[in-house]
A and B are shown apart, each in its own frame.
Chain A
Amino acid sequence: MFLTLINMFILQLLLNCLVIGTQVVLLAVPLYLVYSVSRIYHLGLGATAASLAYAIYFGIDHGWPLGYSILLAIGVAIIISYLSFYLLEPFAKKNNSFYGLLTSFAFGLGLEALLSIIFGTDGKFLFNQVLPIYSWGDLYLTQAGFLTIITGAILAIITVITLQMTPWGRILRSSAENINIATSLKINVSKLRLIVILIASLMAGFIGTMTSLNTVLTPQVGFNLIIMAFAALLIGGVSNLKGTIIAGYVLVLVPELLIGLSYSNYDLSANWKMVLVFLITTILLIWRPNGLLTKTQRQA
């Protein structure tokens, strides 16, 4: 009986990790896509995720149907994408990733500050009613968690098929490899960057909404996620999507297991999560600075 309880506890922990890990990976993928075409880490995607979730909240709070709220969120995504493109494009053209990173960081913080001023910092609930919870025996999964896992799987398949088997994916991969040659082949790299930023913003908005449904909506909801997504990208290797996906789940699984299975004098509260994420990132980056699955190449 006791062993069954422990097994169910660990399984529930693993299920929760699957949900959170999928959220991190789904945010790491747009980060990877934007980096591929611009060589800039777009840290503003976290705030973009929060902004779109707030757009949906605004619509629902004012009695709009869900469809209209989603349309509003898409409109906000288009505006934020254009703004991000306008701010980052000059640095992408000059291949200046340092100032691009700083700009995206400032943009993200500014967007969060704006959300805090408009909506306040208290937690909001997107829906007033209790959302369905699915159960299999003693295992429980929220509707948002279920949607996250299903969407994660579908998006993973779509991303792999698009990148590997479509002309658009080939254009994206060629731009990631060598932007100058892609430009010489009449690929409009600026337009490509704008489209990628728009897709990244929409994906981030979806994750922001799912995270808010699972917890509460605050202006900082995307912030911790984007940092973990970025850490996953670094640990996995910036040009290796498979490594990023593995790293995303490792970064979530290990801290959750350590916190969940800690007991007695060694009990770790949930506040220790970011410390553990940082420690894991440090250890993995020092062990494999080029990425988990990336092989070191000769520099000269």
Chain B
Amino acid sequence: MGYLLTILASFFEATIITIGAHLTISLGGIIFFGLPTLYSAGAYSFVIANTNGYSFYESGIITTVVVLFISLLFVLAYNRLSSDSFAIFSFTSVLAFDALVKSWDPVTGGILGISGITRPLAVGTLSQLVWLELIILIILLIAEFIFLKSRYGRTLLGLRENTQIISSLGASYKKLAFSMIIIASFLAGIAGVLTVWRIQFLDPSFAGMSIVIKIATAAILAVKPKIRWLVGSVLLISLLPEVIRFFDLPSMVMGHLRVLIYTIILIIVLRNLSNLLNEKRLV
């Protein structure tokens, strides 16, 4: 039962962060690789605040401020850089944040991390946490569904196709892109906090390359603006590596095999993207 709840919880957390990637990478065409940075930053800021005596609500506010600050930095970078430059800039932020948490021993615990993290009383058990994550996920999926059907959702899809036509129709594509980056950042922060409540331990390996490739693969798989594609892609990405658990492989190989599977899926999907994108133009 514990294994099933853990799988469910990690699926819900992955879906929450992938909603952000869906809005930015898949639908908006914004190559934003910085979501693992926000995922880790959200987790670290909440845990550090909480272990330093702040209540859960106060820690939540501090986390919100930290995530907002970092997301605004990304917005500034997006405004100044080309899309490819922004992609690498956001990707480098993952490495830089990893180096920061490893180096800043007095605050983050360095490579040893922070252990014994407590959950709020209302979600003291794993099953209660899973229920909370499910409720949050349902709310977010409904919100995304409504958003995609709205005028702003269609403008977002136009962002991927042709920003000049979007501008000529009077829509501010930059404001929309900025909003999507900020929303995706918050979703990543929320997912980070929920994950750390589940595993109750935090170290620099919390958000690394495997998270980057997992999010990118799920986002590219969910290329259509449909919720079922999003959920389906995360389900596939989350469950496929679980299959390799049933093979008698050394544990040190499992992590790398998982990354290899994700990269193969991503490459296959990218090469067949034109078939997946066989839909009417929106602009």
Contact = CB atoms under 8 A, between A and B. Distances in A.
Given A41-B88, A97-B84, A285-B80, A269 B103 contact: yes
A67 interface: no
Interface stretch (A55-63, A104-112, A201-209): A104-112
Interface string B83-95: 1110111011101
Given A98-B29, A227-B88, A285-B89, A275 B256 contact: no
A87 B103 contact: no
Contacts of B252: 120-121
A102 B220 contact: yes
B102 A271 contact: yes
Interface in A261-278: 268-269, 271-275, 277-278
A285 B264 contact: no
A102 B26 CA distance: 12
Given A106-B270, A110-B259, A116-B256, A101 B99 contact: no
B260 interface: yes
A102 B270 contact: yes
B31 interface: yes
B213 interface: yes
B138 interface: no
A90 B99 CA distance: 36
Contacts of A289: 80-82, 85
A67 to B, nearest CB: 31
A285 B77 contact: yes
30 contacts: A41-B84, A87-B267, A90-B271, A98-B84, A101-B31, A101-B87, A102-B216, A102-B266, A106-B217, A109-B209, A109-B213, A109-B263, A110-B267, A113-B260, A114-B256, A114-B260, A117-B256, A230-B88, A234-B88, A268-B103, A271-B102, A274-B95, A274-B99, A275-B96, A277-B96, A278-B93, A282-B73, A285-B80, A285-B81, A289-B80
Interface of A: 41, 87, 90, 97-99, 101-103, 105-107, 109-110, 112-114, 116-117, 120-121, 224, 227, 230-231, 234, 268-269, 271-275, 277-279, 281-282, 285-286, 289
